[in-house]
């Protein structure tokens, strides 16, 4: 079945540095990629929607200059957390979609110290 490979699965970084999270769709072409984050005891919250070859659409309250999304091809989308701060520590997860549904990556646990 469809698989989205997400890397890294966990990362610890220093405050002020940038972290890149990569999602690759295997065996299918993800025309649209959704990026979510989940804080403890909260729901998965949509951050942004990206379509291949175009700019991402960000949800209200999500800083587009801080969370850079690149969807350069139908099989690769990246999220870069720039100038990370401790409050950015969260679980980030991507979801690729085609005509048949949504397939999630395994998620990235980001800890900013």
Q: In the complex, which residues of this chain contact other proteins (CB under 8 A)?
A: 4, 6, 9, 31-32, 34, 36, 41-46, 49, 93, 95, 97, 99, 101-107, 109
38 versus 80: smaller Cβ distance to other proteins: 38
86 versus 100: smaller Cβ distance to other proteins: 100
Q: How wide is the angle at C-alpha 77 spanned by C-alphas 73 and 79, nearest 5°? A: 150
In the complex, the smallest distance separating the C-beta of residue 5 from other proteins, rounded to whole angstroms, is 10
In the complex, the smallest distance separating the C-beta of residue 83 from other proteins, rounded to whole angstroms, is 26
17 versus 57: smaller Cβ distance to other proteins: 57
In the complex, the smallest distance separating the C-beta of residue 12 from other proteins, rounded to whole angstroms, is 15
Are the beta carbons of 69 and 79 closer than 8 angstroms?
yes
In the complex, the smallest distance separating the C-beta of residue 26 from other proteins, rounded to whole angstroms, is 14
39 versus 73: smaller Cβ distance to other proteins: 39
Give the H/E segment covering residue 110: strand 108-112
- β-bridge pairing 57-58 and 90-98: unpaired
In 14-107, the DSSP E strands lie at: 19-26, 32-38, 45-51, 57-58, 67-73, 76-81, 90-98, 101-104
């Amino acid at each position: 079945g469809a698989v989205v490979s997400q890397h890294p699965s966990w990362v610890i970084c220093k405050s002020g540095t940038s972290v890149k999270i990569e999602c690759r769709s295997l065996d299918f072409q993800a025309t649209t990629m959704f990026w979510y984050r989940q804080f403890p005891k909260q729901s998965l919250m949509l951050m942004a929607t990206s379509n291949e070859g175009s700019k991402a659409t960000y949800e209200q309250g999500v800083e587009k200059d801080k969370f850079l999304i690149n969807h350069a091809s139908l099989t690769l989308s990246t999220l870069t957390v720039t100038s990370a701060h401790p409050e950015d520590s969260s679980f980030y997860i991507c979801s690729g979609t085609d005509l048949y549904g949504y397939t999630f990556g395994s998620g990235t646990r980001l800890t900013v110290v």
